[in-house]
């Protein structure tokens, strides 16, 4: 069956986009309440009010909510359940500059974009009339709108389902994932009440891989993400005596040269390749201008994974840390030699030695030296820091703990300490080895074969969704031992951050991303292709759900 859903999903998308639900603002709560009211008006939820819930997020620093619906099929008595999920929050609008007031108004924004000198491809898409523009229209309110439509449809046609359809609209996907972490608790309660989750379908966005790429994509599995971070200690010096010190900014710069855009650090699995790491921050800790070089600096890098464990990534980071240290020492000695020749000074080798630690190695060294006094102090410091500054960014929080630990170091010579400092996004591989995975793969492929006849573009399946999403909380390819290694190398673990392995393993459900299609996510020219997103995508999802719950 093929649903005529274009107009209704287009309307819902525009209404959602009009709500400025930027992450970490009150707009997230406003959007959740609008979604809740949309469902509340449906006859099904008037008759079954307990199957519609708006739930405030757990252990969150601001007020925001998730919305969960539950439609029971009447075709049979199966306890099997499929989850449809998406997120309602967006990134900010600073990139819109002088027209940011129109970022959430698709019609007005389009008028202003037409007057701008934009790239040829963008102007072609504007003139085609095939795209809707606006912040969040692609990432991912159009996908969420499709799920809202399908929830409404199945609430009116429960006789088509032998099982249960659960729909989640989550907040905070763009930052620290409080929405999905709260939802896991709700899903666990549903499992305890007898539901058996057999699949999870996300509706996050996809884009072309290269200019001229006409394919539309569906993804089994998802990329993982870690944020390897480097606390770099140098030795300060007066600018008139630069060779008496070691500038940590030079070490950080070399780290970035070795890390950013380096294809040697791509992860490869099932014939697919992650994009290489890239720097997300690098800076020193000087608070004001002085003629003294910096003592410490910090950098961190996005690192995508398909098959690598946290330990695999840490081993590669230590290799790069040692390589950067060696390169800088060699560079300094060469520079000093040339300087001495120019100035007619006697030359001697600079006596720097590389020291590179993983956080757990550094922590254990300090524990060995100072005993439990260090452990008790640093644990207390972290908890107190979180109590006093609950809104402190997780990355900043982490480096403050490392900085505090450094004060206990006996050896103050230059060093690099490597740690993880951001929310763990798990990699998930779907291989078809289990019956649930095979059922999901077959159901999606059959749906694509049917719906593909209505599409003027090829619909292609791939094995890893390439962007970070809440899918990473629905299953786990890393082992509990891998997570333990992550815990030991994440300074914020247990005080500001905790990854509940038990909740994720309790789900352990195969995943697929059947989502919106467009271009320029997180850019001023963010846009969604309307026919594919408002018609093709929901029909693929519709037929997949019907097959899974037949």
The per-residue pLDDT for range 55-99, each reduced to its tens digit, is: 999 989 899 999 999 999 999 999 999 999 999 999 999 999 999
Q: Could you give the CA distance from residue 414 to residue 232 in angstroms, rounded to a whole number?
A: 8
| pLDDT for residue 190 | 98
Which residues in 360-396 are b (16+ Cβ under 10 Å) and which e?
bbbbebbeeeeeeebeebbeeebeebeeeeeebebbe
What domain range is 117 assigned to? 6-223+426-474+509-548
| pLDDT for residue 73 | 98
- CATH code, 336: 3.30.70.360
Please report whether residue 499 resides in a domain. no
Residue by residue, pLDDT tens for the chain (550 residues) are: 999 999 999 999 999 999 999 999 999 999 999 999 999 999 999 999 999 999 999 989 899 999 999 999 999 999 999 999 999 999 999 999 999 999 999 999 999 999 999 999 999 999 999 999 999 999 999 999 999 999 999 999 999 999 999 999 999 999 889 999 999 999 999 999 999 999 999 999 999 999 999 999 999 999 999 999 999 999 999 999 999 999 999 999 999 999 999 999 999 999 999 999 999 999 999 999 999 999 999 999 999 999 999 999 999 999 999 999 999 999 999 999 999 999 999 999 999 999 999 999 999 999 999 999 999 999 999 999 999 999 899 999 999 999 999 999 999 999 999 999 998 999 999 999 999 999 999 999 999 999 999 999 999 999 999 999 999 999 999 999 999 999 999 999 999 998 888 899 999 999 999 999 999 999 999 999 999 999 999 999 999 999 999 9
Segment (H or E) for 131 = strand 131-133
Strand pairing category for 511-513 and 459-462: unpaired
* CA-based nearest residue to 430, from 450, 411, 444: 444
CA torsion sign, 520 to 526 to 532 to 538? positive
Place of tokens 């934009």: 118
| pLDDT for residue 277 | 98
Q: Are residues 186 and 271 in the same domain?
A: no
**Count: domains in the chain:** 2
Q: Could you give the CA distance from residue 415 to residue 253 in angstroms, rounded to a whole number?
A: 15
Beta-bridge partner residues of 69: 52, 167
Please report whether residue 486 resides in a domain. no
Q: Are residues 210 and 330 in the same domain?
A: no
- CATH code, 173: 3.40.630.10
Q: Are residues 219 and 230 in the same domain?
A: no
Q: Are residues 445 and 468 in the same domain?
A: yes
| pLDDT for residue 417 | 98
Q: Are residues 165 and 282 in the same domain?
A: no
Report angle CA 234, 236, 239 to the nearest 5 degrees: 130
Please report whether residue 494 resides in a domain. no
Q: Are residues 122 and 192 in the same domain?
A: yes
CA 367 to each of CA 316, 382, 471, 495: distance values in angstroms, whole numbers, following the listed order: 25, 16, 37, 18
CA 401 to each of CA 291, 332, 418, 494: distance values in angstroms, whole numbers, following the listed order: 27, 30, 13, 12
SS3 track for 228-249:
EEEEEECECCEHHHHHHCECHH
Place of tokens 């690598």: 308
Q: Could you give the CA distance from residue 453 to residue 189 in angstroms, rounded to a whole number?
A: 40
Which residues in 118-129 are b (16+ Cβ under 10 Å) and which e?
eeeebeebbeee
Q: Are residues 535 and 399 in the same domain?
A: no
Domain-ending residue, one of 420, 439, 454:
420
| Cα 296 from chain centroid (whole Å) | 28
Q: Are residues 80 and 50 in the same domain?
A: yes
Please report whether residue 492 resides in a domain. no
Q: Are residues 197 and 262 in the same domain?
A: no
Segment (H or E) for 258 = helix 248-259
Please report whether residue 497 resides in a domain. no
Q: How many CA atoms lie within 13 A of 200 on its CB side?
A: 27
| pLDDT for residue 498 | 87
Q: Could you give the CA distance from residue 403 to residue 385 in angstroms, rounded to a whole number?
A: 13
Residues 417-469 have pLDDT tens digits of: 999 999 899 999 999 999 999 999 999 999 999 999 999 999 999 999 999 99
Q: Are residues 278 and 331 in the same domain?
A: yes
| pLDDT for residue 405 | 98
Q: Could you give the CA distance from residue 475 to residue 434 in angstroms, rounded to a whole number?
A: 13
Q: Are residues 390 and 253 in the same domain?
A: yes
Place of tokens 């190398």: 489
Domain-ending residue, one of 420, 446, 465:
420
Q: Could you give the CA distance from residue 535 to residue 457 in angstroms, rounded to a whole number?
A: 13
Q: Are residues 198 and 138 in the same domain?
A: yes
Task: Name the burial class of residue 253, with classes exposed (0-12), middle (13-18) and buried (19+) by CB atoms within 10 angstroms of its CB.
Answer: middle
Please report whether residue 488 resides in a domain. no
Domain-ending residue, one of 386, 420, 454:
420
Q: Which residues lie below 8 Å from residue 136, measured CB to CB, with a gap of 6+?
A: 16, 17, 21, 90, 104, 526
């Amino acid at each position: 069956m093929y649903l005529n859903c274009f107009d209704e999903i287009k309307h819902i998308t525009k209404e959602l986009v009009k709500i400025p639900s930027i992450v970490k603002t009150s707009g997230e709560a406003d959007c959740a309440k609008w979604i809740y009211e949309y469902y509340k008006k449906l006859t099904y939820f008037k008759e079954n009010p307990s199957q519609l819930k708006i739930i405030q997020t757990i252990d969150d620093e601001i007020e925001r909510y998730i919305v969960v619906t539950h439609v029971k099929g009447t075709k049979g008595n199966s306890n099997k359940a499929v989850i449809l999920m998406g997120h309602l929050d967006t990134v900010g609008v600073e990139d819109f500059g002088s027209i940011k007031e129109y970022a959430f108004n698709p019609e007005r924004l389009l008028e202003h974009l037409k007057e701008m000198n934009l790239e040829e491809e963008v102007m072609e898409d504007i003139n085609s009339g095939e795209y809707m523009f606006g912040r969040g229209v692609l990432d991912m309110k159009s996908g969420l709108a499709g799920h809202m439509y399908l929830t409404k449809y199945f609430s009116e046609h429960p006789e088509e389902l032998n099982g249960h359809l659960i729909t989640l609209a989550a907040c905070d996907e763009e930052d620290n994932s409080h929405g999905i972490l709260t939802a896991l608790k709700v899903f666990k309660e549903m499992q305890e009440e007898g539901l058996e989750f057999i699949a999870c379908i996300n509706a996050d966005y996809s884009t072309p891989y290269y200019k001229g790429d006409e394919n539309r994509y569906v993804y089994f599995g998802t990329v993982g993400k870690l944020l390897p971070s480097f606390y770099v200690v140098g030795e300060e010096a007066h600018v008139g005596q630069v060779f008496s010190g070691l500038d940590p900014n030079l070490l950080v710069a070399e780290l970035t040269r070795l890390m950013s855009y380096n294809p040697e650090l791509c992860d490869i699995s099932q014939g697919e390749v992650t994009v290489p790491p890239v720097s997300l921050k690098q800076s020193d800790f000087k608070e004001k201008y002085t003629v003294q070089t910096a003592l410490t600096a910090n950098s961190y890098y996005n690192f995508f994974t398909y098959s690598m464990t946290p330990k695999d990534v840490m081993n590669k980071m230590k290799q790069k840390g040692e390589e950067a240290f060696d390169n800088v020492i060699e560079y300094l000695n060469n520079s000093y030699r040339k300087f001495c020749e120019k100035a007619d000074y006697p030359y001697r080798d600079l006596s720097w030695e590389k020291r590179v630690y993983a956080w757990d190695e550094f922590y254990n060294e300090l524990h060995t030296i100072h005993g439990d006094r260090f452990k008790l102090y640093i644990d207390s410091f972290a908890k107190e820091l979180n109590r006093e500054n609950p809104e402190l960014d997780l990355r900043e929080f982490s480096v403050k703990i490392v900085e505090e630990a450094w004060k206990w170091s006996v050896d103050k010579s230059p060093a690099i300490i490597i740690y993880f400092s951001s929310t763990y996004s798990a990699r998930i591989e779907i291989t078809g080895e289990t019956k649930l995975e095979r059922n999901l793969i077959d159901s999606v492929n059959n749906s694509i074969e049917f719906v593909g006849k209505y599409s003027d573009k090829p619909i292609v399946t791939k094995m890893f969704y390439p962007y970070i999403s809440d899918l990473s909380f629905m299953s786990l390819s890393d082992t509990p031992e891998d997570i333990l290694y992550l815990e030991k190398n994440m300074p914020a673990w247990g005080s500001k951050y905790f990854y509940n392995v038990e909740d994720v393993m309790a789900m352990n459900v195969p995943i697929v991303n059947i989502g919106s299609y467009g271009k320029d996510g997180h850019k001023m020219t963010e846009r969604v292709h309307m026919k594919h997103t408002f018609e093709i995508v929901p029909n693929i999802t519709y037929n997949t759900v019907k097959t899974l719950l037949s």
